[in-house]
Amino acid sequence: MQLHHLLRLSALPPPKDAAEQAQMLSTLAAQLHFVKEIQKVDTEGVEPLRSLRDETGQGEKEAELGMVALRGALEQEVIRGTHHQRITRKQGRRDGEEGEKWDPLGTAGRKMGRYFVVEGGKEG
């Protein structure tokens, strides 16, 4: 059946029973109907969408970064050196560090010391 082939291509599990299959087919038919209706819309003279953001003058003004927005970051900068000045940032807690520490090896199936093991090999 075409539904099973489509599910295999999408790496989705097959339906458990006939009722679930009928529900999937109904949902798929509704989605295809929606796409066909959208394709019927006259888009003559409409410029293509470049991105999903407010590109009006007011939207661009709201998204603009000014000195007020950057003040917190600029206050963390310290200029060091006399001949070759460099800007460094004050050390301190960064956003997100006050929460739990993430253990990257916590979900690893196999570990060797500080590293996780990946099974693999070269083929002939």
Residues 88-114: tens digit of each pLDDT: 877 766 655 556 778 888 888 888 888
C-alpha to C-alpha distance for 116 and 109, rounded to whole angstroms: 8
The reply to whether the predicted model has a pTM over 0.85 is no
Judge contact between 3 and 26, C-beta under 8 A. no
Q: What residue ranges do the domains of the chain occupy?
A: 2-39, 65-89
- 3-state SS class at 58: helix
Please name the amino acid found at residue 6.
L
Q: What is the mean pLDDT of the segment spanning 27-40?
A: 96
Per-residue model confidence (pLDDT) at position 97: 58
pLDDT at 95: 58
Distance CA(90)–CA(56), nearest Å, equals: 38
Q: How far apart are CA 52 and CA 43, in angstroms?
A: 18
